[in-house]
Structure 1
Amino acid sequence: MTTAPNWLSDEEQRTWRAYLHATTLLEDHLDRQLQRDAGMPHIYYGLLVQLSQAPRHRMRMTELAKSAKITRSRLSHAIARLEKNGWVRREDCPSDKRGQLATLTEAGLGVLERAAPGHVTAVRQAMFDRLTPQQVNQLGEIMRVMAQGLQPADAKADLPWLR
């Protein structure tokens, strides 16, 4: 015998739909800003940021896909586009003949440095300028609780904002 679903209350439904709508609008806003100002979608910007923060500006492709929460196929396509722009290059992994590394180039670092000010302005205007300091703290706490519950245990140590 199956049990009936625990349906969302009216308030939970309103909150869920507001969350979905706001996150969709925010992602679209950031994507349009980065396309306009830097010629890249938000996902590419995120990949460049991750590479810029990695030791020696490079990561194994499998780890990059895992941390970006995208499939290896989608990552491979994105890296191919970033390579075409001269922002990233692929290298064979010296310790594993089957593995590949994605490495941020000087040109990639330059485009990231030029794109970052406009991106942070867009984030600030779309999100933080609309919230009180108390709301920012509350939102941060809520998002950390959600992320901690959803993030695989083996990945939590790599994410300092979850602590």
Structure 2
Amino acid sequence: MVMPAATTLLAWTRLLRAAECASQHCADTLRKLGLPPPEWYDVLLALERSGAQRPRDLQAALGVEQYAISRLLDRMVKAGLLERRPCPDDARGHTIRLTIEGLEMRAAMWPVYAEAIEVALGARVAEEDRTALARLLAPLAEPVSAA
């Protein structure tokens, strides 16, 4: 068994904690204004950019577990932000698309979410460090290969 170096463990714990703190700040900010959580924004934005998608394609694009995307989409359909339509290529399947309310919600969420991101990261880390951070995190944003 290979044990991680102390610096690896330190980087790991700080990465997890930073993501947790920033995510929680964004979720809290949206919630305080009566807006849905960031996960809803991600779905709304993905569908706005790509158009209607099958749930499995949306799941893959967002990197969400199958059980989680099903529940998330169910809640968003119930809220009137999304609708299910029969899939033209598969009589057993369906696609998910934005409603007008979904488009409006995404537009209402973005200014609040953007400001929360700025408070959580932009205002706390210098621009050159944000650039370096984005570069350093790029390889970690890809799935770990089995090799």
From 13, 26, 30, the counterpart of 1:17: 13
Task: Calculate the TM-score normalised by the size of structure 1.
Answer: 0.81
List structure 1 runs of 4+ shifted beyond 6 angstroms. Answer: none
> Percent of aligned pairs with the same residue?
21
Equivalent in the alignment of 1:105: 99
From 26, 29, 39, the counterpart of 2:25: 29
User: Is 2:86 the partner of 1:92?
Assistant: yes
CA–CA separation in structure 2 for the residues paired with 1:36 and 1:85? 18
- The answer (yes or no) to whether the contact 1:38–1:111 under 8 Å persists in 2 is no
Shift in Å at residue 145 of structure 1? 2.2
- The answer (yes or no) to whether the contact 2:29–2:113 under 8 Å persists in 1 is yes
User: What do residues 85-113 of structure 1 show as CA deviations (whole Å, max 9, x unaligned)?
Assistant: 11100111111112211100111100110
Q: Which amino acid in 2 is paired with 1:61?
A: P
The structure whose RCO (Cα within 8 Å, separation 6+) is larger is: 2
**What runs of 5+ residues in structure 2 fail to find an aligned partner?**
none
Counterparts of residues 119-134 of structure 1 (less than 5 Å): 119-134=113-128
User: What do residues 99-144 of structure 1 show as CA deviations (whole Å, max 9, x unaligned)?
Assistant: 2111001111001101100100000110112122211111111122
CA–CA separation in structure 2 for the residues paired with 1:8 and 1:124? 33
Equivalent in the alignment of 2:36: 40
Q: Secondary structure at the match of 1:111?
A: helix
Q: Which amino acid in 1 is paired with 2:4?
A: L
- The answer (yes or no) to whether the contact 2:35–2:109 under 8 Å persists in 1 is no
From 115, 130, 137, the counterpart of 2:131: 137
Q: Secondary structure at the match of 2:33?
A: helix
Q: Secondary structure at the match of 1:40?
A: coil
User: Is 2:56 the partner of 1:65?
Assistant: no
Task: Calculate the TM-score normalised by the size of structure 2.
Answer: 0.89
User: What do residues 5-34 of structure 1 show as CA deviations (whole Å, max 9, x unaligned)?
Assistant: 2x2222222221111111111111112122
Equivalent in the alignment of 1:160: none
Q: Number of residue pairs matched?
A: 145
CA–CA separation in structure 2 for the residues paired with 1:72 and 1:36? 29
